[in-house]
Structure 1
Amino acid sequence: MSEANYSYPIPTADWKAKLCFWADKRYPYFALTDGNNHHYPEEAFESRFFAGKKALTEKEIWDQDSQIQKVGIIGYDFKNRLEHLKSENPAFLDLPELCFFQPEISLKFTGNTVYSSVELNESFWEEIENSSIPKSPSTHCAITAQLTRENYIASVQAIQEQIVEGNTYEANICQAYAGSFEKWDPISAYFLLTEKSPMPFSALFKAESKWLVSASPERFIKKTGTRLIVQPIKGTIRRGATPEEDEHHKRLLLASEKERAENLMITDLMRNDLARVSQTGSVRVQELFGIYALPRVFQMISTVTSTLRAGVDFSQIIQATFPMGSMTGAPKISTMEIIEQEEKFKRGWFSGAFGYIKENGDFDFSVIIRSIIADLEAKQLYFGVGSAITFDADAAQEYAECELKAQAILEVLSGK
């Protein structure tokens, strides 16, 4: 399948939504990605759409020579295949650790133009135009926090004891919200979430009855030619209510010794991960402690790049770098063991990676955070939020940071 042989003008403003509802009736698998015009270092997600009927086997996912597009998810618990780890906490949903499909339709949106890998006839455009968007979609879902504030604070204190004992330097401890529903519309929920919180790595993913509705701000890893890019986020502060307050909060984040220490530890971890698959001496920190404005928060983002060593394939890159250090902590393996002890739920797709692989082997994957994960057959959904715990972390402030990260999703699910 070629990248883009044909181009067409985008017909209407709501065309992407109509495209998704059209695909939902015809394909067991589809995905939409959107960078929402963010000026993100090393660029945000390309705006793309994929639809297909063929789920890929594990062998096909890792096959370096297949030269086909692949779109999908690597769940957090895939870590257990990479290291001697386990995930024994209760799961909200039965989710595959690997879930990829091969697209039959592949579209790319640039400005007011759609680029397609195959020729789209007149009937295709008519079908899309005639697709209906629900006027009163079911996006509400009663949600329950799975951890009380008191229990969260106790978990933070337990992590800090582990730090004192030298078992970890920093651990990303997460909590979950979950709910059940009779009817829930993931497509409408995605567009509502994107309206409330347009993120550089927004994505909608369908795999039969299972869905990902994502407003992720974070890239896991990107490959362009022989160049690898990772961009850990560590450091969050609320946007201000006025331009003056906004600028004040931005300066506070940049000056925070705690946030800089968190970011530096994970940046060093990712440098070491990249070094395992990169040419000697090629790993570079392109930007350290960059402060970027997102719709509701400022984030501290560091960018690390390297040159891929010859002969290294996709599976080896994942082996070296997964999961993203910002969602584990440092050192990675012992901290993941501590996370398993302290968290009360199986992460599943949350804090894993979602993305697409091009025919030439280039790829781009986000970190699955600020995201709803749902199963329409099970009629259940959940999402997770977390923050990095260090020795000097204030448990009450960390809990407030989790609430801030959950805000947009809770607004969508509550109808506010």
Structure 2
Amino acid sequence: MDRAYYLNAVNALKEHIRKGDCYEVNFCREQFLEADVNAPQHLFHRLNQLSPAPFAAYYKVHHRYLVCSSPERFLQKKGSRIISQPIKGTAKRAADPAQDAALQQALRSSAKEQAENVMIVDLVRNDLSRTAVQGSVRVEELFGIYTFPQVHHMISTVSATLDDRFHFTDAIRHAFPMGSMTGAPKVRVMELIEQYEKTRRGLFSGAVGYITPEGDFDFNVVIRSILYNAEQKYISFQTGSAITFYSDAEKEFEECGLKAKALLAALGL
């Protein structure tokens, strides 16, 4: 997806929002190259040295690899407690500490970023409520600001108590795909994603994690990730951002570039 297509698509999505089709769309673009990666595990280490992340993952099935430095949790279960921590809101880092603090504060007080975040928080609350004990859904933290090596992020935490009438897989089923990678309302924006994105996402914006024998689990959101097909010598990564009525297409394109910075550096580009 080149820059011209991206800008036109963002403006078309804003028109859908203006007409009332949706409120927010997570719109993604793919970058790819054909090349051989001799040791994908070394690529994983390089990426996580450049951009260490709490939900990093290395995944291999036959000739397909995932190299992931995700900062985002999709869903976690401990006992009967379930939490989701959607990310919506991004600001670049600065080398100068005073400037970096100013960028962090600007993110914290941005009405646009808060609007993006709270739309997804409401969607997550709704998703969790479908399998939760009535009245147990809580927003533990709203608009929390967290700093990573490449970016500042706005992260909210939503919790719920799983109703014992439901199996833990029901909580996953009703929450997936995660709202931070779709938008609101979820079904309509998935149709728009299918219409405007030029590449099927595949494992990107999915989830990788574990389930214990006791039924606890923890899953990430597959973002800040490189997908490698060793058979086809195909390297691919996608970046995206939340499109709302107030989005500036140029700035959204810049945000995609910011999120791609560590991925490109890990690939030596």
Structure-2-length-normalised TM-score: 0.98
Corresponding residue of 1:264:
118
CA distance in 2, matches of 1:206, 1:314: 26
Matches within 5 A, 1:28-39: none
Q: Pick from 113, 129, 135: which aligns with 1:275?
A: 129
Deviation of 1:381 (Å): 2.0
Deviation of 1:314 (Å): 3.3
Corresponding residue of 1:343:
197
CA distance in 2, matches of 1:374, 1:356: 22
Contact (CA 8 Å) 2:226, 2:263: kept in 1 or not? Answer: yes
Matches within 5 A, 1:114-125: none
Structure 2 letter corresponding to 1:335: V
Structure 1 letter corresponding to 2:184: A
1:365 partner SS: strand
CA distance in 2, matches of 1:353, 1:222: 12
Q: Pick from 305, 311, 327: which aligns with 2:165?
A: 311
Q: Pick from 222, 236, 258: which aligns with 1:404?
A: 258
CA distance in 1, matches of 2:231, 2:101: 46
Corresponding residue of 1:354:
208
- Residue deviations 1:75-96 (CA, integer Å, cap 9, x gap): xxxxxxxxxxxxxxxxxxxxxx
Q: Pick from 68, 72, 78: which aligns with 1:224?
A: 78
Q: Single out whichever of 400-409 and 240-249 deviates more from structure 2.
A: 240-249
Q: If each structure's helix is expressed as a fraction of its own residues, which one has the higher value?
A: 2
Corresponding residue of 1:333:
187
Deviation of 1:376 (Å): 1.2
Deviation of 1:241 (Å): 1.5
CA distance in 2, matches of 1:317, 1:175: 29
Q: Pick from 231, 247, 254: which aligns with 2:101?
A: 247
1:353 partner SS: coil
Deviation of 1:293 (Å): 0.6
- Residue deviations 1:186-208 (CA, integer Å, cap 9, x gap): 10000000110001111111112
CA distance in 2, matches of 1:168, 1:285: 23
Corresponding residue of 2:148:
294
> Which consecutive unaligned segments of at least 5 residues does structure 1 have?
1-146
> Which consecutive unaligned segments of at least 5 residues does structure 2 have?
none
Structure-1-length-normalised TM-score: 0.64
Q: Pick from 173, 180, 196: which aligns with 2:27?
A: 173
Query: Rg bigger for which structure?
Result: 1
Aligned CA RMSD, in angstroms, stands at 0.9
Number of corresponding residues: 269
Deviation of 1:377 (Å): 1.9
Give 4+ residue runs of structure 1 displaced > 2 Å after superposition: none
- Residue deviations 1:103-125 (CA, integer Å, cap 9, x gap): xxxxxxxxxxxxxxxxxxxxxxx
Q: Pick from 143, 162, 179: which aligns with 2:16?
A: 162
Structure 1 letter corresponding to 2:205: S
- Residue deviations 1:1-40 (CA, integer Å, cap 9, x gap): xxxxxxxxxxxxxxxxxxxxxxxxxxxxxxxxxxxxxxxx
